[in-house]
Amino acid sequence: METVYERPKTLTRVSTHYCPGCGHGITHRLTAEVIDELGIREKTVVVAPVGCAVLLYNYFDLDSYEAAHGRAPAIATGCKRVHPELTVFTYQGDGDLAAIGTAETVHAAARGEKITTIFVNNAIYGMTGGQMAPTTLIGQKTTTTPGGRTAERAGYPIRVCEMLATLEGAAYVARVSVSNPKNVVQAKKAIRKAFETQIRGLGYSIVEILSQCPTNWHMTPAESAKWVDEKMAAYFPLGEFKSPKEG
Amino acid sequence: MTDKRFMAGNEAIAEAAVQAGCRYYFAYPITPQNEIGEYMAWRMPEVGGTFLQAESEVAAIYMVFGAAGAGARTMTSSSSPGISLMQEGISYIAAAELPCVIVNMMRGGPGLGGIAPSQSDYFQATKGGGHGDYHLLVLAPSTGQEAADLTMLAFDLADKYRNPVMILGDGNIGQMMEPIEFRPPAENVVLPSKDWAIRGGSAGHRKLIKSLYLDPPILERRNLVIAQKLREAARNEVRFESYMTEDAEFIIAAYGTVARIAKTAIKILREKGLKVGLLRPISLYPFPYEAFAQLAGRVKSFLVVEMSMGQMLEDVKLGLCGKSQVYFYGRVGGIVPSYDEIVGEIEKISVKAR
């Protein structure tokens, strides 16, 4: 009988701790599939963030670092400089990448560091219980914006891809979402391109993934997916902001 | 063949690191240690290594974390305010048991302070600095030659104990030019293999470098492993210099730049008929408590001289256990005490002791 669906070899055989409807599971799987398909499992290193994905090394069967909050790109830089033959990627959330680790991210991109970042943007701090993130939308209720985020009090959400696309060192910059099957297919293509950009030695690559957080958004998984498509994608448009020439 | 060159302490440290096999150097500019980075900027490419000017000390220390985790000999250098910024990363490095060398050419503090020499980061260097239970191994050179020797030794000790090692100097050590001879460490340190390092191709034996242990009994065990290792270092790695202590009635305790000045003061004092010696800790962690304990009681008076408000003073008192009288003389803010001042302090003490 033909096998049409199986666990990617890059994923371990364990249940994850992620909540029902969370986008991390899909993103983990897509990343693992790409690593399998590129045949680079034995020479890929992942740097885990602080946040909901802090334990991702329990799920990815890869050599792994666990970073301090926001510092994953600096650790990835150190590893990649020692082992340029390895594929090194960071997996970071919005608080990790766009608040406490903004400097590390911007400068890794500016240096054209040959690493890849999988950036999961769910517009909230998940692990600490639903506080405002640097990507929380105006009007969005969180535990630290109980009346909804206002620009007067908390400023505006950061569009990371648009910002990084201005940097010469960033070779591949794309925003995708995992809110519906069509977008999931697109997301995988972008992740593959990002890894290929690194393997080709072209510079920094990042895929921002708009992702659902039903638990902290206080929605059902279906409502969350709809919210990503209608609200998040309106402020954070999907697409490729920078892409190297094919070759 | 001896490799002898005339160079500043900062450059001596950089060259010693290269000769010790360090090929990855990450740092952010700060005075008074910029010569280290400027030397590495041309020297590293020459030996096929990496010099990377980081966006901050925070990033620099995590680049060190990444390179150390990848199995490489790696180093960063900074001065007091920059070292404060690195404390988070140093705690993570100690927790993950990664070997690396960190150079702190101390300047006056607190805050932005000044750029002139100081020894006011002694507590930060020897007592932890960052959060959690750990210590750095801390080596304090007193001359340019010793800066080179201790830097080479530091890489061996870091690998041996899988622990960060700090070279604690000051602006004087870094800027002063002296003839430096580069020679491998006299002691033959047996280095364990880095089978824990991330190098790729680890099918079925993947490597994981981390510090999060949510289960308290497991985290407690991790702490005990680190504590055990530090106890072993305390048994094996105490280093100090005794200078004219055999017949001494007064002993000066000082390290680094101040110890060097104290030797001049001792010559003058001996000419005046006062029997003065020097006990100079070279390893500040582990501290030579035993060396002080052996002199406690026999020597009535100790004078601790530091470029701080009295930090090593506390360790000297611990070593002496109240059996000798302890005096302190300190200058701060970037002021280096002169030998005259030290002579004056000992003369005052000698009058009291009579």
Domains identified in chain A, total number: 1
Indicate whether A85 belongs to any domain.
Answer: yes
- Whether residue B25 contacts residue B51, with contact meaning beta carbons closer than 8 Å, is answered with yes
Count of CB atoms within 10 A of residue A159's CB? 18
Lookup: tokens for B329: 């003389």
Residue A30 scores a pLDDT above 70: yes
For residue A144, pLDDT beyond 60: yes
Percent of chain B that is helix, strand, coil (3-state, to 5): 40, 20, 35
Is pLDDT of B43 > 80?
Answer: yes
Give the number of other Cβ atoms within 10 Å of residue B347's Cβ: 13
User: Is A108 a member of any domain?
Assistant: yes
Look-up of token digits 């640097």: A134
Q: B350 by DSSP, 3-state: which?
A: helix
Taking CB atoms and an 8 Å limit, are A75 and B54 in contact across chains?
Answer: no
In a domain, A13, yes or no: no
- pTM, two decimal places: 0.97
Instruction: Report if residue A217 sits inside a domain.
Output: yes
Give the pLDDT confidence score for residue A247 in this predicted structure.
Answer: 61
Report if residue A2 sits inside a domain: no
Tokens of B295: 């002199």
Q: What confidence category does residue B1 fall into, taking pLDDT thresholds of 50, 70 and 90?
A: low
Q: Is residue A3 part of a domain?
A: no
Residue B101, pLDDT > 80, answer yes
Structural domains in chain B plus CATH codes: 3-199+208-236 (3.40.50.970), 242-353 (3.40.50.920)
Q: How confident is the model at residue B186 (pLDDT cuts 50, 70, 90)?
A: confident
In chain B, pLDDT over 90 holds for what percent of residues?
Answer: 94
Alpha carbon A214 to its chain centroid, in Å, reads 17
Pure H helices in chain A? 24-38, 72-82, 94-95, 102-110, 151-154, 160-164, 181-199, 214-217, 221-227, 233-235
How many interface pairs between A and B have CB atoms less than 8 angstroms apart? 117
Average of per-residue pLDDT across B225-254: 98
Q: Which residues pair with B328 in a beta bridge?
A: B304
Q: Residue B133 pLDDT > 80, yes or no? A: yes
Q: What single-letter amino acid sits at A68?
A: A
B15 pLDDT band (50/70/90 cuts)? Answer: very high
Verify whether the Cβ–Cβ distance B50 to A81 is below 8 Å: yes
**Position B353 pLDDT exceeds 80:** no
What residues pair up with A91 in beta bridges, in sequence order?
A118
CATH number, domain of A77, equals: 3.40.50.970
- Over residues A128-153, mean pLDDT: 98
CA dihedral B200, B204, B207, B212 (to 10 degrees): 150
CB of A2 less than 8 A from some CB of B = no
How far apart, in whole angstroms, are the C-alpha atoms of residue B186 and residue B190? 13
Chain center to CA of A97: 9
Tokens 């995590």, residue located: B62
Structure tokens at B40: 């590495």
> Helices (H) and strands (E) in chain A — how many of each?
10, 7
Task: Look up residue A41 and give its two tokens.
Answer: 């499992």
Interface test with B, best of A13, A41, A42, A77 (most B CBs within 10 A): A77
pLDDT at B354: 74
pLDDT band at A229 (very low <50, low <70, confident <90, very high): very high
What domain range includes position A207? 24-242
pLDDT averaged over every residue in chain B = 96
Beta strands A170-177 and B208-209: pairing type?
unpaired
Distance CA A242, CA A208 (A): 12
Nearest residue on chain B to A56, judged by CA atoms? B208
Residue A247 is assigned to a structural domain of this protein: no
Tell me what pLDDT residue A32 has. Answer: 98
Name the residue in chain B with its Cα closest to that of A42: B201
Residue A4 counted as domain residue: no
Q: What is the structure's pLDDT at A105?
A: 98
For A235, the 3-state DSSP assignment is helix
Query: What digits encode the pLDDT tens for the residues B53-76?
Result: 999 999 999 999 999 999 999 999
B260, B142 contact by CB (below 8 A): yes
